Amino acid sequence: MLKNFFTLALRNLLKRKLYSFINIFGLAIGVAVCLVILKYVDFELSYDRFHKKAETIYRNTTTYFQNGELRGTNVVSGYALGPSLASDIPEVKTYVRTHPMYGGAVAAYKRNEGDPSIFQEDNMQFADSTFFDVFTYEALQGNLNTALDNPNSVVITKETATKYFGKEDPLGKTFQISGGWADGDYEVTAVLKEVPQNSHFDFDFLFPIHNLLKGEQYQQDKDGWGWNNFITYVQFHDRIDIKSVEAKIPAFVEKYRGKELAESNGKVVFNFQPILDIHLSPGLDLESSPTVSINSIYFFIIISVFILAIAWINYINLSTARAMERAREVGIKKAVGAVKGQLVWQFISESVLVNLLGVVLAVLIALALLPVLGEIVNKNLRFDFADYRFWLILFGLFVTGSLISGAYPAFVLSSFNTTQVLKGKVENLTSGFSLRKALVVFQFASSLILIAGTFTIYRQVIFMRSQDKGLTMEQMLIVDGPKVVDWKTGKERRARLTTFKNQLAEVPGVRKVATSASIPGGGYNWGTSMRRDGAPREENKGGSVVWVDPDFIETYGIKILSGRNFNPAIRSDMESVLVNEAALKSFGLGDAEHALQERIVLGGDTVAILGVLKNYHWNSLKIEHSPWLLKADTIAGRNYSIHLESKNMPETISKVEALFKEAFPGNPFNYYFLDDFFNKQYKDEQQFAKIFSLFAVLAIIIACLGLWGLASFTTTLKLKEIGIRKVLGASTRSIMSLLSWQFFKLVLIACLISIPLTWYGVDQWLGTFAFRIGIQWDLFVVPIVILSVIALGTVSLQILRGANINPAKILRSE
């Protein structure tokens, strides 16, 4: 009997090749999208699970309160935290402190013969020698147990080894590090296979923390709690109760920081975050790696379910639409003794065969789609066919799809009354607002939501990129300052850097030049507490400081509301600060004119306010304006900002490069344009938009495939009606309008249903941005027009073919 069922199923598929193709291809795309999304979700959920001791590893987070008000939670602490936890909390087995090489450094390998390998490296980290005791990495060369024991050792990745040494053996080779936080010569003691993509902690170079702690700022910080630049991990003993550990933390904080916090009316809460939760916990300040919201993961799962549902709906719709054609087959089989159960299994067998073919094709489509998604998210995603979970999911989708997409048509088709069927009286399943029509509405409502979502995301990204930042971005060339230096004194340093700046200003095509210790989009140089002079210490609030030279304001075109710019000839000017409008409100400085009479306590110093600047977007438009201070430096050689004219830019850049190499030999020439650098802050939104649009297109393709097949079959059923209407004088246009309206009204109903849902979703998503677009009519009208045109175009092609058939050929058998 089973063999007979599948034989009949195969014959039916071959008999109606077009509908079979639509069903199989639609199901294949739906299953493929589901597989790709589940792979992406699995990757996002797998972060840091490769560490063998992951269940016992936690990262410290610090929550600050001032005057009872929450000031934020970040991931950094002083270098004393780790040793103090190990000595005071018995549950702590060991600790690891890490510290980024802020600003990067220049790494050079000098060969005995030939040119040296010199590169600017930005992915460098410092760590305690216990790093590889806690975290799990695979070594290609060297012993990780002792790799960081020597203060002048370094561990590198395989890619880094190839970059510098080619086919040479990297072990024992020496790097010269310049321009970083701990310059010197470092010997390669180990080479890692790779840092896994699903690691929240990424690096190309890993140095011992020993030499870093010898830095001047840390030597002056006697108790180890002043400079919060370190990320602290702790490994607990097995089977400890984390709540009992956290209960000891208030006494711990009181012991080490109680006096300091009491003086400022502050409060600090230390928490322990499992490393398995780090990647899925966005919103922490000073986070060291990209994170993703678990809600985004759920959202992608929902999208996969919707697309899969759209594919299954196609099968249900086409199967029920063909009910009238297959009614006589059902009637005859019932008349000769077939029972309902046998008919149900026959149609289920057809569904099984369609889903089986669809699943096989889905694997091939998924293999083609996964690299596309991987390129969007900048990850090397691939299916692991040795993983039993892949086959379990594939089998689950196959079984579920066979039952869901086959059960309803099977019961509908097998329930026809034998007498009525053989007399030609079958309920017209195409009339009324049937379940089939409801499913079509669901398909197009889902597609419309995806289109509107894609449109909104792109509009918001374009808005943030094109919004006036309050400072000049266009044609601003950024050149990294030198890090390999041979000067001995600060005076010589300033002279060399100033000479180069003056040479740049004379290059044809250069408008203005300024130097700074950071640039827009590149963060701050100093994050510290500050307050208005005369205010009590408990009114301290956080603020950001960047060092700039006197030409910075003019070069960037920042508007001065009151006061004046730095004048290098006036000593008091160079000891003052420029503040933005946000600082006025935050520190209670009054209006722009009154603020000039105030002073600010900055760290341990009191500084005058030289000028007030109109708010400018130093950071992404995703966040509100915050207190931002600019301090003067005669020459700040970390970044050269060069405002170029639009003509002959390649030639101008070549001249800048030649001057740089002449002024600072042994330094790599690194340059980029500021607008490109600044817009990297929107990378996550751009990725989200690309992913959203990819799945929206696939959903629309599946929905239109079903609509195309449904329109084709409906037109076939109405050929006699079309023929009679044409004989009676109806035009092709009127016939097309009549039949198209049956489908178009479903699209309109889908639009009415999706508009409030889209409004709510868009408003919730835009609410996460400080500066956002408004919810305007075109956010809904444009997607509706796009979907309507696609749907009508799909339907019209089939209806036009039917409407142009010669009525004589249709009616001659009557």
Read off the pLDDT of each residue in 575-585 and give the average, rounded to a whole number: 94
Most confident of 291-300, 435-444, 734-743: 291-300
- In sequence order, the 6+-apart residues with CB closer than 8 A to the CB of 444 are 703, 746, 747, 750, 751, 787, 791
The rounded percent of the chain whose pLDDT value lies above 70 is: 86
Q: Give 124's pLDDT tier (boundaries 50, 70, 90).
A: very high
Confidence (pLDDT) at 144: 94
pLDDT digits (tens, 9 = 90+) for 646-659: 888 999 999 999 99
Residue 503 has pLDDT above 70, yes or no: yes
- E strands, 129-260, where? 139-142, 153-157, 174-178, 184-192, 205-208, 231-236
The rounded percent of the chain whose pLDDT value lies above 90 is: 43
Read off the pLDDT of each residue in 18-30 and give the average, rounded to a whole number: 81
664 or 739, greater pLDDT: 664
Read off the pLDDT of each residue in 781-803 and give the average, rounded to a whole number: 77
pLDDT digits (tens, 9 = 90+) for 158-213: 999 999 998 889 999 999 999 888 889 999 999 999 899 999 999 999 999 999 99
Read off the pLDDT of each residue in 282-296 and give the average, rounded to a whole number: 84
Residue 3 has pLDDT above 80, yes or no: no
Read off the pLDDT of each residue in 702-716 and give the average, rounded to a whole number: 71
The rounded mean pLDDT for the chain is 85
Confidence (pLDDT) at 432: 36
Residue 14 has pLDDT above 70, yes or no: no
Torsions phi, psi of 52, nearest 5? -65, -30
Confidence (pLDDT) at 210: 92
Residue 113 has pLDDT above 80, yes or no: no
pLDDT digits (tens, 9 = 90+) for 540-561: 888 899 999 999 999 999 999 9
- Per the CB < 8 A criterion, the answer to whether 119 and 106 are in contact is yes
- What are the helix (H) ranges across 235-322? 242-247, 249-264, 275-278, 294-321
695/457 Cα distance (integer angstroms):
14
The residue behind tokens 């069903």 is 23
pLDDT digits (tens, 9 = 90+) for 307-347: 888 888 777 777 666 555 555 565 655 565 555 555 666 66
Most confident of 37-51, 416-430, 755-769: 37-51
435/323 Cα distance (integer angstroms):
14
- Per the CB < 8 A criterion, the answer to whether 496 and 487 are in contact is yes
Confidence (pLDDT) at 429: 42
pLDDT digits (tens, 9 = 90+) for 410-433: 666 656 555 555 555 554 444 434
**Which stretch of 218-227, 358-367, 639-648 has the lowest confidence by average pLDDT?**
218-227
pLDDT digits (tens, 9 = 90+) for 53-69: 999 999 999 998 877 77
292/401 Cα distance (integer angstroms):
30
**CA distances for 352 relative to 96, 185, 255, angstroms:** 55, 67, 69
Confidence (pLDDT) at 135: 96
> Could you tell me the two tokens for 631?
């301090």
| Half-sphere exposure for 104 (CA within 13 Å, toward CB) | 20
- Per the CB < 8 A criterion, the answer to whether 549 and 632 are in contact is yes
How many other C-beta atoms can be found within 10 angstroms of the C-beta atom of residue 389?
10
**Which stretch of 116-125, 711-720, 741-750 has the lowest confidence by average pLDDT?**
711-720
DSSP string, 688-751: HHHHHHHHHHHHHHHHHHHHHHHHHHHHHHTHHHHHHHHHTT--HHHHHHHHHHHHHHHHHHHH
**Which stretch of 337-351, 563-577, 745-759 has the lowest confidence by average pLDDT?**
337-351
Nearest to residue 373, comparing CAs of 382, 386, 360?
A: 382
How many other C-beta atoms can be found within 10 angstroms of the C-beta atom of residue 778?
10
- Per the CB < 8 A criterion, the answer to whether 640 and 479 are in contact is yes
- Per the CB < 8 A criterion, the answer to whether 627 and 541 are in contact is yes
- In sequence order, the 6+-apart residues with CB closer than 8 A to the CB of 460 are 685, 766, 769, 772, 773
**CA distances for 697 relative to 29, 404, 454, 711, 786, angstroms:** 11, 24, 10, 20, 12
257 or 329, greater pLDDT: 257
The residue behind tokens 């063999």 is 3
Confidence (pLDDT) at 603: 74
Q: Give 781's pLDDT tier (boundaries 50, 70, 90).
A: confident
516, β-bridge pairs: 548, 639
Torsions phi, psi of 585, nearest 5? -70, -40
Confidence (pLDDT) at 563: 94
Residue 663 has pLDDT above 50, yes or no: yes
- In sequence order, the 6+-apart residues with CB closer than 8 A to the CB of 409 are 315, 316, 319, 320, 323, 347, 351
233/759 Cα distance (integer angstroms):
43
Confidence (pLDDT) at 787: 79
340 or 260, greater pLDDT: 260
Query: How many residues are present in the chain?
Result: 814
Confidence (pLDDT) at 325: 58
Residue 9 has pLDDT above 60, yes or no: no
Class of residue 269 by CB neighbours under 10 A (exposed 0-12, middle 13-18, buried 19+): middle
Confidence (pLDDT) at 4: 58
Confidence (pLDDT) at 30: 87
9/31 Cα distance (integer angstroms):
21
CA 804 to chain centre: 51
**Which stretch of 274-288, 561-575, 582-596, 713-727 has the lowest confidence by average pLDDT?**
713-727
Residue 600 has pLDDT above 90, yes or no: yes
Confidence (pLDDT) at 12: 64
